[in-house]
Structure 1
Amino acid sequence: MGAVYYGFESLTSVASYKTRFENGEALSEAFIIVHEGADPEVDRVVHEKDAGGRTTFIGVPDEGAAAGVAGEMAGELQLIELYGGEGPEGAEPVIRAVNESVPVGVTGYRR
């Protein structure tokens, strides 16, 4: 079982995302998955939505690469979720890379 957590710095913007989503606004989000050996140039799937916006799934080898990808994409995103990393500590480079301009969620798992 897992859950996605958002840090204090993301609470206002993730609430805004929720409202905008519920109102049918075209939004774009990225789901970044940390997986050893992943190549973000190759391990990427982009789904263009009919009503506008896109959902992007990107595999990266580590949190540093996740930060690089997030920083490059931040201007076109309204939400980022980070999976497979080291938890909240692993999300820190991603949050810094987007300069808190995009809400960043991170997974936590019950073991």
Structure 2
Amino acid sequence: MLASLDDVKARIPHVDFDEDQALGLLEEASALVEGYLQKPVPEPVPETIKIVVSRMVARVIEAPKETAFQESMQVTAGPFSQSANFTHGGSGGAPWLTASDKTMLAPFRRRRRGIYSITMS
């Protein structure tokens, strides 16, 4: 794993959470970051990567469970209607990378190299 429970506790010191759940989320977040970087993570793990992974887990832990990623709810009594709108990028309880996470990880990401052609007229 790319971060520890202590890293998560440092992000959300005021929140009590299930450590077993957090360990599972750390595994998921670590796998997601490794896939995003497209190359092996340097050893020892850089502090920036630990921060990103622990923030990903903290976001899931702090998300309200009852209405996870729900933006709005509409209910009508007759003839029985209900609708809910969910936020863009809702993850259903799994860790996700935000744009700022990707910016922080950019220096560690494999850069694409290759031959490119440009049409000149």
TM-score, with structure 2 as normaliser: 0.26
- Answer with 1 or 2: which has the greater Rg: 2
The structure richer in helix per residue is 2
Asked which structure has the greater RCO (Cα within 8 Å, sep 6+), the reply is 1
The structure richer in strand per residue is 1
